[in-house]
Amino acid sequence: MNRKPSLQFAGIAGRTVMWIFLIVTAILTLFPVLMTVSGSLKSNAELMSGGDLLPKVWQFHNYAEAWKQTHFAQYTWNSVFLSVAVTAGHLLVAAMAAYVVDRRQFPGKALYVGVQASTMFISVGAVVLRPQFDLMVKLHMNTTLWGVILILISAHASTFFILLGFFKAIPKDLDEAAMMDGSSFIRNFYTIILPLLAPGLGVSGLFTFRHAWNEYILPLVFTMTNPKLQTLTVGLANLRYGSSAAMQTNLMMAGACLSILPMLIVYIAANKSFMQVTAGSVKG
């Protein structure tokens, strides 16, 4: 007799706990962003002394100063060029590799997939930085962003496995029907498979663009002799100290807020693909 009220109470309690958890998570996620935006509108002295969350005097000129000191337009263009080139090359290489692995049998296939998987779980980090730089020196690409682009494109294992999962969901009957009509293996990839792979490419492209946009070590090493090629992450780090050797944390925060805008634009552009993948996973 009392079972139904107890179930209703349990349901209400469960929803309450869920909403509390979501609200706390949202606060923990957004609080650092709010602190950064607030700090970008404070003077450096007020920011370093602590105080209230909101600035006493709103220093909007911090954004103009950050733009000027970091050569923001040039560094932003370098970051956009790097990120777009890496994303395009990364997706193309990973998609072609996943297509061949899924659709063809060839000697060493299991070994290739195993090597790809091992690169995801073995982090070598800075250990390979010197060999990578020496390789780019031999290719005469050590003073350009193309060396960084080539290295970042080569690290495509995670995208390879993401797209491989999408390929397995595309029926092979489409390939066979197209080949019966005279289409080739390569033509199938560009005209039939890639359009069907759009949601996976959108999600993978978002992650790839974000990684390339936030990359710091490689652009720093490869642009030491040519500051005009520095990316936004390197330029923002140079804001830490001004001409008087004083830390300019407020300008760093203003520059960080400006650097978020391109990522927001990319997320909005890829949001449709993200929603398609989420809806498909829930439906499945």
180 domain-assigned? yes
8 domain-assigned? yes
Question: Residue 52 above 70 pLDDT?
Answer: yes
Question: How does the average pLDDT of the chain come out, rounded?
Answer: 80
The pLDDT value recorded for residue 3 is: 58
The pLDDT value recorded for residue 281 is: 42
Instruction: Please tell me whether residues 143 and 25 are part of one structural domain.
Output: no
Instruction: Please tell me whether residues 17 and 151 are part of one structural domain.
Output: no
Nearest to 273 by CA among 175, 188, 162: 162
269 domain-assigned? no
Instruction: Please tell me whether residues 89 and 221 are part of one structural domain.
Output: yes
What is the Cα–Cα distance from 238 to 241, expressed in whole angstroms? 7
245 domain-assigned? no
What is the Cα–Cα distance from 200 to 147, expressed in whole angstroms? 27
Instruction: Please state the rounded mean pLDDT for residues 33-61.
Output: 79
The pLDDT value recorded for residue 280 is: 44
Instruction: Please state the rounded mean pLDDT for residues 190-209.
Output: 84
Going by pLDDT thresholds of 50, 70 and 90, the confidence category of residue 81 is: very high
Instruction: Please tell me whether residues 28 and 116 are part of one structural domain.
Output: no
65 domain-assigned? no
Domain count, the chain: 2
Nearest to 166 by CA among 252, 277, 259: 277
* Residue 215, beta-bridge partner list: none
Question: Residue 238 above 90 pLDDT?
Answer: no
For the domain that residue 87 is a member of, what is the CATH number? 1.10.3720.10
Instruction: Please state the rounded mean pLDDT for residues 112-136.
Output: 79
Contacts of 201 (CB under 8 A, 6+ apart): 91, 95, 163, 194, 273
Instruction: Please state the rounded mean pLDDT for residues 107-126.
Output: 79
Question: Residue 6 above 80 pLDDT?
Answer: no
What is the Cα–Cα distance from 29 to 173, expressed in whole angstroms? 45
10 domain-assigned? yes
Going by pLDDT thresholds of 50, 70 and 90, the confidence category of residue 274 is: low
Instruction: Please tell me whether residues 217 and 82 are part of one structural domain.
Output: yes
Instruction: Please tell me whether residues 202 and 98 are part of one structural domain.
Output: yes
The pLDDT value recorded for residue 192 is: 82
Instruction: Please tell me whether residues 147 and 222 are part of one structural domain.
Output: yes
Task: Yes or no: say if 197 and 170 are a contact pair by the CB < 8 Å rule.
Answer: yes
Instruction: Please tell me whether residues 87 and 26 are part of one structural domain.
Output: no
Instruction: Please tell me whether residues 98 and 13 are part of one structural domain.
Output: no
Instruction: Please tell me whether residues 95 and 138 are part of one structural domain.
Output: yes
Q: Which of 238, 256, 274 is the last residue of a domain?
A: 238
The pLDDT value recorded for residue 283 is: 44
Write out the residue range of the structural domain in which residue 216 sits.
71-238
* Highest averaged pLDDT of the listed ranges 51-55, 75-79, 184-188: 75-79
84 domain-assigned? yes
The pLDDT value recorded for residue 82 is: 93
Instruction: Please tell me whether residues 212 and 82 are part of one structural domain.
Output: yes
20 domain-assigned? yes
Listed range (22-31, 112-121, 214-223) with the worst mean pLDDT: 112-121
Going by pLDDT thresholds of 50, 70 and 90, the confidence category of residue 282 is: very low
Task: Yes or no: say if 116 and 269 are a contact pair by the CB < 8 Å rule.
Answer: no
Question: Residue 277 above 60 pLDDT?
Answer: no
Instruction: Please state the rounded mean pLDDT for residues 75-100.
Output: 90
pLDDT tens, 126-166? 677 888 888 888 888 888 889 889 988 888 888 888 888 88
Instruction: Please tell me whether residues 165 and 41 are part of one structural domain.
Output: no
